Structure 1
């Protein structure tokens, strides 16, 4: 994972450096891309490709593209009109450094560039490019991440049901995680039945990831998190601990982890690395 994170981060820098555009927008885009983070999504994508014994180089463009979409969403999430955060990964948020207008444009730039990165990649077939672009648009747009963000904002200051909360997290967080796994499976040459099991795996992993996020917002170490603890309470958001109590949230986390592992066991490829990553997500501290 550490090796592949470095590879992805090096590739991200190359993609920004080759851009022909104003220096300030390139700087703003690169600032948030290189701010660190877990890189869970691109690493999941590469790990899924590796499960098919394929070279991970085939997925580097897709992995970088995915991280661009994720980073754009974080830049926009931090804006005053949304979560109004001053810190992200221990550093001032994009709009604190470059101003609100440039932060918005940096997010816009990353989102649109992500599709260009996929379509210009020479290691993918034309059919794979179409599949990946179509799936990324769906998973990151109003039927996916953006739809989840809308529901999340509308859910502030009101009591949500568990069903409401799961809809938010299946979309806001889960859809991009699902994309990372399905994109890796597409590049790896998965069959339809394998894609179905990877989808089940990824959906459960996405919910587990968000439950752990909710737990860390209460029990986490601010230094490790790189952002203020307790923002969910401050923003009057419903969370898994607030609906289920802390132990209930931890039990639900482990139930989704087990469902994810069961799906992996139904896929006849080498999913050992994905199983290890699933265990890591269950106990992560940042």
Structure 2
């Protein structure tokens, strides 16, 4: 019984994203049922036309705007919205009840404070998630070029200021066009995903992994020397070989590597990328699958 109830609740909550309008209708019917059941214990109310107009004017627009709130896709935001609605609605009760302090001051204030807090937190979380998703490549889950152009300069500025070494590597998936032509673009997407997984498994936690575009991946290793970076790249290649050994067309990558050490002149992002891009193409020309 408990398992069925849990499944029913989960299905009902999932409805708010699949069909917000229907979910809103269920909420309205539920609110109406609660008001009907609670009516006998409510303080006496003078049900005059003014009260009816005020109540309908407050509740109806908010109820039907609930699908917009459900776009937050997070229950604290929806709960905060309902608390705000309750606070606004009960604020008018002091004109019609025998408990003006409770319904006219304490309850609306408590609902409004808690509702605003939950709603603000949910909105902040939604913006943070949207910002995070805008910096992610949807295929591999790695950071994308927008992240590279906006966030990496700040990271480099901190590295230059603190005087810590770093290494930048540019990896290019070898033969991706041939894979797409022979085995379809779906297989090419699989190749990119496998390379992304290999980068995640073979790199350090402090490393920044970026799919720059197409078949090119950037690996930024703060605090790493060139030798350390080459070990990481060799580890990534080994992991990729394990993942692709049973595929009809195993593939690898070419990598260009550049390093910066304290005492050298700082380079801007464009200059760094130009150097590592040249190193990667030199590696391709020499047909060395891993390093320059």
TM-score (norm 2): 0.27
More helix by share: 1
Structure ranking higher on relative contact order (CA contacts 8 Å, 6+ apart): 1
Larger Rg: 2
TM-score by length of 1: 0.27
